[in-house]
Structure 1
Amino acid sequence: MSLIGEIHYFRIPVISLEESVKWYIECLGFHLRRQNEELAVFELKEGPLLVLVKADINSRGHFLINGKPEFSVGFTCPEIHKFHQQLIEQNVEVDEIIEEDGHFYFHFYDPSNNKLQVHW
Structure 2
Amino acid sequence: MWLIGLGLGEGETLEEIQSISQFVLEDGRTFRTWMKQTDIIKACKELFEDAVDWQFWEGIINEERKQEFLESLKIVELAEQVFGANHARGKLANEINDWHPTPASAHENIKQSCVKHGAWRTLECT
Give the shorter-chain TM-score range: under 0.3
* Structure with the higher helix share, 1 or 2: 2
Larger relative contact order (CA 8 Å, sep ≥ 6) = 1
Q: Which has the larger radius of gyration?
A: 2
TM-score (norm 2): 0.22
